[in-house]
């Protein structure tokens, strides 16, 4: 039986394509608001500014305002280039780790949501700010001015090596 060389080329191409897709690495993007369908509705910015009302009297009140009124939620969206099969998806969710760090304070991120090829997580900035200021023992103090806040997000999963995203947030008092 004679084999057609074009058939072999097509078969090799198909097997290579399937093999590459199987090992494809997910992308991780900053996303501060994710829809129910796990689409990024509000992409996270590398640098952003949050204007605070003048009436806040302490870091504790700033943290509460960031949490309850501003609802600032730095987050991430992880997207695989294909649907994960059931065992892969189970491993990806089981081994998914997303942490956020400000100064010396690191917290596990909240709000894990997933579908067959995407996962997202977020964290309330107010919670993180309060924890770091409490660690510094200045939670009850009112800052006169602000240094930029550098927030690092670390994410990893079964098929995702540890990835770090950094964000800078400038707090400032309203004029």
- Domains of the chain: total: 1
pTM of the model: 0.83
Within 23-107, where are the H helices? 59-65, 86-94
Q: What is the CATH number of the domain that holds 99?
A: 2.60.40.10
In a domain, 12, yes or no: no
Q: What is the domain range of residue 31?
A: 24-173
How does pLDDT run along the chain (175 residues), one tens digit per residue?
555 554 443 333 333 333 344 557 899 999 999 999 999 999 999 999 999 999 999 999 999 999 999 999 999 999 999 999 989 888 888 999 999 999 999 999 999 999 999 999 999 999 999 999 999 999 999 999 999 999 999 999 877 889 999 999 999 999 9
Residues 6+ apart with CB under 8 A from 55: none
Dist. CA 135–CA 35, nearest whole Å = 34
Instruction: Evaluate whether residue 17 is within a structural domain.
Output: no
Q: Is residue 117 part of a domain?
A: yes
Question: Does residue 13 form part of some domain?
Answer: no
Q: Is residue 6 part of a domain?
A: no
Q: Is residue 124 part of a domain?
A: yes
């Amino acid at each position: 039986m004679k084999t057609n060389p074009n058939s072999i080329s097509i078969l090799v191409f198909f097997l290579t394509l399937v093999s590459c897709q199987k090992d494809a690495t997910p992308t991780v993007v900053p996303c501060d608001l994710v829809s129910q369908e796990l689409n990024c509705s509000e992409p996270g910015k590398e640098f952003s500014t949050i204007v605070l009302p003048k009436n806040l009297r302490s870091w504790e009140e700033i943290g509460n305002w960031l949490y309850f009124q501003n609802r600032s939620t730095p987050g991430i969206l992880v997207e695989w280039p294909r649907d994960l099969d059931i065992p892969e998806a189970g491993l990806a969710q089981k081994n998914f780790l997303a942490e956020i760090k400000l100064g010396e304070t690191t917290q596990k991120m909240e709000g894990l949501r997933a579908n067959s090829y995407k996962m997202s997580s977020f964290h309330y900035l107010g919670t993180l700010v309060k924890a770091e200021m409490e660690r510094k023992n200045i939670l009850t103090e009112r800052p006169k001015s602000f240094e930029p806040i550098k927030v690092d997000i670390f994410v990893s999963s079964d098929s995702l090596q540890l990835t770090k995203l950094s964000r800078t947030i400038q707090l400032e008092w309203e004029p």
